[in-house]
Amino acid sequence: MSEERRLAVLRAIVQDYVRTSEPVGSKSLVERHHFGVSAATVRNDMALLEEEGLIHAPHTSAGRVPTDAGYRLFVDRLSAVKPMSPAEREAIGGFLRGAVDLDDVVDRTVRLLASLTHQVAVVQYPSLTRSTVRHIELVPLGRERLMVILIANTGRVEQRVVDIARTLDDERSAALVSAVRRELLVEAAGRSFPEASTRLRSLPERFEPADRDMVRTILRTLDDALSEEREERVVLAGTSNLARFGADFPLTIAPVLEALEEHVVLLKLFGQLGAGRVGGVAVTIGHENQHEGLAGASVVSTTYGSGSESVAGLGVLGPTRMDYPTAMASVRAVARYVSELLEP
Partner DNA sequence: ACTGGCACTCGCCGTCGGAGAGTGCCAGAG
Partner DNA sequence: CTCTGGCACTCTCCGACGGCGAGTGCCAGT
The contact set with a copy of itself (CB under 8 A) reads 100-101, 134-135, 137, 139, 141, 147, 149, 151, 155, 157, 159-161, 224, 230, 237-240, 242-244, 246, 251, 253-255, 257-258, 260-261
Compare residues 183 and 224 and give the one whose CB is closer to a copy of itself. 224
72 binds, options a copy of itself, DNA, none, Cβ within 5 to 8 A by partner type: none
CA atoms within 13 A on the CB side of 174: 4
Compare residues 53 and 279 and give the one whose CB is closer to DNA. 53
Please tell me the distance from the alpha carbon of residue 283 to that of residue 286, in angstroms, as a whole number: 10
CB within 8 Å of 117: residues ≥ 6 apart: 238, 316, 318, 323, 326, 327, 330, 331
Minimal distance, residue 27 CB to DNA, in Å? 4
Contact indicator for 138, 214 with CB cutoff of 8 Å: no
276 binds, options a copy of itself, DNA, none, Cβ within 5 to 8 A by partner type: none
Minimal distance, residue 52 CB to DNA, in Å? 13
Burial (CB < 10 A; 0-12, 13-18, 19+), residue 252, is: middle
230 binds, options DNA, a copy of itself, none, Cβ within 5 to 8 A by partner type: a copy of itself
Please tell me the distance from the alpha carbon of residue 318 to that of residue 315, in angstroms, as a whole number: 10
Give, as one character, the DSSP assignment of residue 312: E
Compare residues 28 and 272 and give the one whose CB is closer to DNA. 28
81 binds, options DNA, a copy of itself, none, Cβ within 5 to 8 A by partner type: none
275 binds, options a copy of itself, DNA, none, Cβ within 5 to 8 A by partner type: none
Compare residues 178 and 290 and give the one whose CB is closer to a copy of itself. 178
Please tell me the distance from the alpha carbon of residue 169 to that of residue 332, in angstroms, as a whole number: 52
